[in-house]
Amino acid sequence: MSYFDELAFQFIDGEWRAGSGSWDIVDFNPYDGEKLTSIPIATVEEVDQAYRAAERAQPQWGATNPYTRRLVFERALAFIDAHEEEMSEAIAAEVGGTHAKVGFELHLVREFLREAVQLALRAEGRILPSPVDGKENRLYRLPVGVVGVISPFNFPLLLSMKSVAPALALGNAVVLKPHQNTPICGGGLVAKIFEEAGLPPGLLNVVVTDIAEIGDALIEHPVPKTISFTGSEKVGRHVATVAASHFKHAVLELGGNSALVVLDDADIDYAVDAAVFSRFVHQGQVCMAANRVLVDRAVEREFTEKFVAKVASLKVGDPTDPATHIGPLINEGQAEAVSSLVERAVADGAQALVHGTTEGTLVAPSVLSGVAADSPILAQEIFGPVVLLIPFDGDQEAVWITNATPYGLSGAVHTADIERGVRFAKQIETGMIHINDSTVHDEPIVPFGGEKSSGVGRLNGEATVDAFTTTKWISIQHGRSRFPF
C-alpha cells in the first residue's frame, strides 16, 4: 500500500478518519497529471475537534520529563532511515521534486529532528536579582500550549517538520494544516512518522482542508496561542491580521526577492555555479531563491557568457530521472503565471538571453537582461525558473539595487575580499545573507527569517524556543514585605 492510499485521511486525536465535508481535495502528480489520491475535506467541526484534542493532551505532555520527550524524536529519525525510499518516491510524485531536491529535503528533515532531540532540554529558566530584600525572582520558560501550523507546498515535509518537531519537543501540542497541493507529504506523512515514533494521541493532529470550507477558523479558534505560517506574503498578511485581532502570536516565514551579487573581484566560475543553484534549485520554487543576479560591469561579459551557457545546459523533464535538473512547477496555473511574467517583461523591452518554453507544468529556464526599471517582475517573487541579470557600477549602486524591493529574506555576495563582503552584507536589508555561497541555506541552530515583507519573527535554535514557549515570573518573598498602608 502506498502512502497515497494509507494516509489520505484526517488525523485527529490519534485516529485516521475521513473528513465530513461535502467535497474532496484531489492530489495530483504535477509532472504527469496522474491522480494520486483524494481526501474528503475537514470542516470547521473537525478543526475544533483537532484543537480540543490537542488542548486535552498537552498538559500531561508539557509535564513529561524532557528526557522522555526527546525519545520520540530519536524514534522518528529511525523511522525515516528505515523508510527513506518510500518517502523519496512520495515527495517526487507529489511535489515534482528531482533527485537532488528530494535528497536535500530529507537531509534537512533529519537535521531538524536531531535538533529537536536537543531542543527538548533547552527551555531553561532563570533566577533574577531583586531590589527588595529577601525576594527571589524565578523566571520559568513554559510551553505556549497549542500551536497551529500552516505549511506550504514547495518543501512540504521539511517546512511542516520545521515547526511541528520543535513545538512538540518544547512540550506543546500541534494542529497542522498542510497545503492543499501536498496533503500527504506535508501532513499525513508527518502524522505517520510521529505515530510510529510513539507520540501520545492528540498531541499532533492533521486537518486537510481549505479556506473555502473553514474560513479563518484555524486561526481564530480560541485554543492555539501561536500560529506558525510559511507561505506567500499576501496570505501571510491576512494570517497576521487575524492572529493579532485575537491576541495570538504569529511567526511568519514569507516570500523573498533575493539577490546574488557578483563583485568585480569574485571567482567568476564559482559565482556562476552558485548563481545557477540559487535560482534553479527546485525550479525556483524556493523562498530564498535568487530572483536577481547583480553583476559588476567590470566582469559582466565574462559572467554572462558562462552563466547563460550553464543555464542552457540544464535538463528539463521527468523529476524521477536522476539526470533532470528542472522538474515541473506545482500546477499549470503557476506555470502559466511564470510564463506570463516572462512574456510581459520581453514585451516591455527585456532581452531574453535564454527564452524557456512552457509545456503543461514544465517551464524551461529563462534568463532576462535589460529589464525596465519599472517592470513589475523586478519587485516581486517569481517562484519559477526565471532569473534577471542586472549590471551595476560599484558596491554602493549594488547595495541600492539589492535593497530596492519590499522583500528582505536572503541574499549572497561573491568577492575575493571577505571583509569587503562583510561590509557589503551589513548594508543589505535581509534577515540572512551569505558570502561566497548560494542564497539558499537553512541550518537548525541558526535563526531563520526575514525583514520587511519577508516575515515576522525567527525560527531555528534559540529563536524557536522564543517562538514556542512563554515566560512566567514567579516571585518568592523570604521573610515579610513592608507595605505603605
Q: Tell me, yes or no, whether 271 lies in a domain.
A: yes
How does pLDDT run across 310-351, given as a tens digit for each residue?
999 999 999 999 999 999 999 999 999 999 999 999 999 999
The proportion of the chain whose per-residue pLDDT surpasses 70, expressed as a percent, equals: 100
Q: Same domain, yes or no, for 248 and 263?
A: no
Q: Does 1 score more than 70 pLDDT? A: no
Predicted local confidence at residue 373, as pLDDT: 85
How does pLDDT run across 406-422, given as a tens digit for each residue?
999 999 999 999 999 99
How does pLDDT run across 146-198, given as a tens digit for each residue?
999 999 999 999 999 999 999 999 999 999 999 999 999 999 999 999 999 99
Q: Same domain, yes or no, for 193 and 338?
A: no
Q: Average pLDDT in the 29-47 region?
A: 97
Predicted local confidence at residue 150, as pLDDT: 98
Q: Tell me, yes or no, whether 175 lies in a domain.
A: yes
How does pLDDT run across 361-389, given as a tens digit for each residue?
999 999 999 998 888 899 899 999 999 99
Task: Provide the domain count of the chain.
Answer: 2
Active site residues: 253, 287
Q: Same domain, yes or no, for 102 and 14?
A: yes
Predicted local confidence at residue 66, as pLDDT: 96
Q: Same domain, yes or no, for 392 and 339?
A: yes
Average pLDDT, the chain: 97
Q: Tell me, yes or no, whether 157 lies in a domain.
A: yes
Q: Same domain, yes or no, for 40 and 87?
A: yes
Write the CATH number for 81: 3.40.605.10
Show the domain range for 187.
3-254+454-473
Q: Average pLDDT in the 235-259 region?
A: 97
Q: Whole-prediction pTM value?
A: 0.96
Write the CATH number for 339: 3.40.309.10
H/E/C letters for each residue in the chain? Answer: CCHHHHCCCEEECCEEECCCCCCEEEEECCCCCCEEEEEECCCHHHHHHHHHHHHHHHHHHHCCCHHHHHHHHHHHHHHHHHCHHHHHHHHHHHHCCCHHHHHHHHHHHHHHHHHHHHHCCCCCCEEECCCCCCEEEEEEEEECCEEEEECCCCCHHHHHHHHHHHHHHCCCEEEEECCCCCCHHHHHHHHHHHHHCCCCCCCEEECCCCHHHHCCHHHHCCCCCEEEEECCHHHHHHHHHHHHHCCCEEEEECCCCEEEEECCCCCHHHHHHHHHHHHHHHHHCCCCCEEEEEEECCCHHHHHHHHHHHHHCCCECCCCCCCCCECCCCCHHHHHHHHHHHHHHHHCCCEEEECCCEECCEECCEEEECCCCCCHHHHCCCCCCEEEEEEECCHHHHHHHHHCCCEECCEEEECCCHHHHHHHHHCCCCCCCEECCCCCCCCCCCCECCEECCEECCECHHHHHHHHEEEEEEEEECCCCCCCC
